[in-house]
Amino acid sequence: MIRMIAFDADDTLWHNESIFALTHERYTDLLTPYHPQEWIESRLFATETGNLKRYGYGVKGFMLSMIETAIELTEGRITGREIGSILEFGREMLVAPIQLLSHVEETLPALAQRYPLLMLTKGDLFDQETKVARSGLADHFRHIEIVSEKDKTTYEKVMMQYNLRPDEFVMVGNSMKSDILPVLELGAYAAHIPYHLTWAHEKATLPETLRSRYLQLEHVGLLPELLKRLDAEHQE
């Protein structure tokens, strides 16, 4: 039987990428006197990607990447006032209200009565801890893990830590790259709940060879019935 359900947090339990998208718009508006929007977006993404190994994931690293890109694109002509605006964009992101996705609030308590729940999220430790606290969801989770990356090594460690076989573990998330593919490659189940926005860094294609334990849902409210079916299949 399924012995643990793990949930991604950002864009699986609450809205996150939409906040980044809004900040991207404000940032490009700030810099369009210097360059076209498409070029600004392209250079910012390149800087973000290059900085992941330095700063990791999260708002603070994004702020630093925005400032670095602005200095580069303006050849150092960016003003102190404009840098201040970029810092304010980031501060507003850090305190943005947590807005739960539909069906999360009623589904998690029901699942927590039947399964141990694990919140498995990546990003800046302080930022993620505050979002978890402000979400009001922490009490539904038996375990909360905040990691710097979500790859095969991370999921292997999680399954070893909780003494789980791959067929006893289900990961629920919106990112094909971080939440789905590494889990499927280990032989576990992955329930994909796509979000309407996806950061380009998190996009990936599902190989046909990994579809046997791939599950796709429109929203998290459909998860309990799906898990019942999985448990029934295990008992046959």
CATH number of residue 223's parent domain? 3.40.50.1000
State residue 89's pLDDT score: 97
Q: Are residues 41 and 110 in the same domain?
A: no
Note the helical H segments in the chain: 17-31, 37-55, 59-73, 80-94, 104-112, 125-135, 152-161, 181-185, 223-235
Q: Tell me which of 65, 94, 123 is where a domain ends.
A: 94
Q: Are residues 110 and 84 in the same domain?
A: no
Angle at 110 between CA 108 and CA 112, to 5 degrees: 65
Q: Are residues 102 and 131 in the same domain?
A: yes
Q: Tell me which of 36, 69, 94 is where a domain ends.
A: 94
Q: Are residues 76 and 109 in the same domain?
A: no
Sequence-ordered list of residues with C-beta below 8 angstroms from that of 212, at least 6 positions apart, any chain: none
Max CA separation in the chain (angstroms): 68
Q: Are residues 83 and 111 in the same domain?
A: no
Q: 72: domain range?
A: 17-94
Nearest-10 crossing angle of helices 104-112, 223-235: 30
State residue 233's pLDDT score: 78
Q: Are residues 115 and 88 in the same domain?
A: no
Q: Are residues 145 and 112 in the same domain?
A: yes
Taking the chain (236 residues) in runs of 10, the rounded mean pLDDT of each run is: 95 96 96 94 95 93 97 96 97 96 97 97 94 97 96 97 96 97 97 90 92 95 92 74
d(CA 129, CA 133): 6
Q: Tell me which of 94, 123, 157 is where a domain ends.
A: 94
How many folded domains does the chain comprise? Answer: 2
Q: Are residues 9 and 115 in the same domain?
A: yes
Q: Of the candidates 48, 172, 85, which has an alpha carbon nearest to the alpha carbon of residue 120?
A: 172
